[in-house]
Amino acid sequence: MIVRFTPSAVAHAVQEVVAELERSGARVWRSTESARPIVASAGGGGDDLAAALADRPEVEEVVAPPGGLRLAARAFRESPTRVRVGRGPGAVVIGGPEVPVIAGPCSVEGRDFMTEVAAAVAAGGARILRGGAFKPRTSPYSFQGFGVEGLAQLVEAGRAHGLPVCAEIMDAAHLPAFLDHDVDLLQVGARNSQNFTLLKAIAAAGRPVLLKRGLAMTLDEWLQSAEYLMAHGCDQVVLCERGIRTFETATRNTLDLTVLPVLRERTHLPVVVDPAHAVGIARFIPPLARAAVACGADGLTVEVHPRPEQARSDGPQALLPAELASLVAETRILAALTPRAGRSG
Ligand code: PEP
Ligand code: MN
């Protein structure tokens, strides 16, 4: 359950409720929300306890969020979560008034290549540099990425251009390398978003996580994966819609923008849209990106390559640098036009 107190509830009244929940055997979390005290509990007492707590004068309401969510539930916070990626003046906020674009190649393809792409990404106005070093490929014979060397090339290129970096982590055993190289945003890919062992392992790392939707994942399942991260210590979670598998074969996947308004009601977490892996064809990405921003996306992630026909992976969906720059410019215009409730300032 989630217990939402009145804004004026005093600390000892909140502590009494926390103690009562704990006595019932529940695990309890307190929201970092400053507008009012909010606590969430899992396990322990049921309906009777919820009713008793709801009767307390300092308790405004006791909520049972749909799908059994707790920390990811909208009710656990008063305001939307803002996720800060990177440190210092180059840090990028996802979930604020800006709609940042994450861009870079599908795969890191070498040091000079990454320097070239990072320059194009920075010049195009994108804010975070992406690049895969450990690649989840359908065929074992396809390029699997340069591994740790690729991470080093990504980070070096990002730092040289003042861009925080994002890379996919597929195996908890690689986490020390991601931290040693200081990867700013850990991407959990569509094929791993229900790998609960991985989610638990990376949650404790204190890094923001970009959690992609699985290929056939319902919205509830996706939010439960976010809940795994949060229950294990990561409150900096960004959801990423990247298309789902449907009966449609004309495009790689089907971009499900339906989730944007629904997620806004269900969770306080920011949502980024990846039109590239959804549609899989570069010329269809700009209209889908515009639709995503108009629907309230908190950010976009796309792939860019100066020579897509030579890309080691996902060439058909790679934007050219000039196309990226147009997409970023359109995103800024549309973001300013789109009502972004609660996101001002
Ligand atoms: C990627 O971002 O390169 C990727 C493999 O994405 P997804 O997990 O969405 O397929
Ligand atoms: Mn890709």
CA of 39 to the centre of ligand 2 (A): 39
3-state helix, strand, coil in the chain (%, to 5): 40, 20, 40
Region 292-301: what's the mean pLDDT?
97
Q: Answer yes or no: are the C-beta atoms of 116 and 143 closer than 8 Å.
A: no
Write the CA distances from 336 to 7, 333, 339, 344, integer angstroms: 32, 5, 8, 11
Q: Which atom of ligand 1 is nearest to the CA of 106?
A: 3
DSSP H or E stretch at residue 279: helix 275-279
Instruction: Please tell me the predicted confidence (pLDDT) of residue 2.
Output: 97
Instruction: Please tell me the predicted confidence (pLDDT) of residue 342.
Output: 47
Among the bound ligands, the one closest to the CA of 192:
1
β pairing state of 271-273 and 299-303: parallel
Write the CA distances from 291 to 75, 244, 256, 331, 342, integer angstroms: 27, 17, 11, 10, 20
Q: Answer yes or no: are the C-beta atoms of 222 and 214 closer than 8 Å.
A: yes
pLDDT in tens, 145-196: 999 999 999 999 999 999 999 999 999 999 999 999 999 999 999 999 999 9
pLDDT band at 345 (very low <50, low <70, confident <90, very high): very low
| Start-to-end C-alpha separation, the chain | 31
Give 254's DSSP letter: B
Region 302-308: what's the mean pLDDT?
98
Radius of gyration of the chain measured on its C-alpha atoms: 21
Instruction: Please tell me the predicted confidence (pLDDT) of residue 340.
Output: 67
**Tokens linked to 281:** 């064809």
Taking a 5 Å cut-off on Cβ, the residues next to ion ligand 2 are 106, 314
Q: Whose CA is nearest to atom 1 of ligand 1?
A: 106
User: Is residue 213 lining ligand 1, measured as CB closer than 6 Å?
Assistant: no
Write the CA distances from 335 to 209, 300, 329, integer angstroms: 23, 11, 10
pLDDT in tens, 87-129: 998 999 999 999 999 999 999 999 999 999 999 999 999 999 9
User: Distance (Å, rounded) from C-alpha 271 to C-alpha 240?
Assistant: 6
Comparing 46 with 76, the larger pLDDT belongs to 76
What's the mean per-residue pLDDT of the chain? 96
Q: Which residues contact 280 (CB under 8 A, 6 or more apart)?
A: 251, 252, 253, 314, 316, 317
Q: Which atom of ligand 1 is nearest to the CA of 301?
A: 2
Beta bridge partners of 63: 2
Q: Would you say residue 226 has pLDDT above 70?
A: yes
Q: Would you say residue 33 has pLDDT above 90?
A: no
At residue 259, the 3 state secondary structure works out as helix
pLDDT in tens, 236-292: 999 999 999 999 999 999 999 999 999 999 999 999 999 999 999 999 999 999 999
User: Is residue 136 lining ligand 1, measured as CB closer than 6 Å?
Assistant: yes
- What domains are defined for the chain? 2-64 (3.30.70), 83-337 (3.20.20.70)
pLDDT in tens, 122-148: 999 999 999 999 999 999 999 999 999
User: Is residue 242 lining ligand 1, measured as CB closer than 6 Å?
Assistant: yes
What is the number of alpha carbons within 13 Å of residue 333 lying toward its C-beta? Answer: 9
Region 26-41: what's the mean pLDDT?
94
Instruction: Please tell me the predicted confidence (pLDDT) of residue 341.
Output: 53
The predicted model scores a pTM of: 0.97
Nearest 5°: phi and psi at 202? -80, -20
Q: Whose CA is nearest to atom 4 of ligand 1?
A: 189
pLDDT band at 343 (very low <50, low <70, confident <90, very high): low
Our mutation pick for probing the ligand 1 site, out of 106, 185, 277, counting the most ligand atoms within 8 A of Cβ, is 277
pLDDT in tens, 65-77: 998 999 999 999 9
Share above pLDDT 90 across residues of the chain, in percent, rounded to a whole number: 94
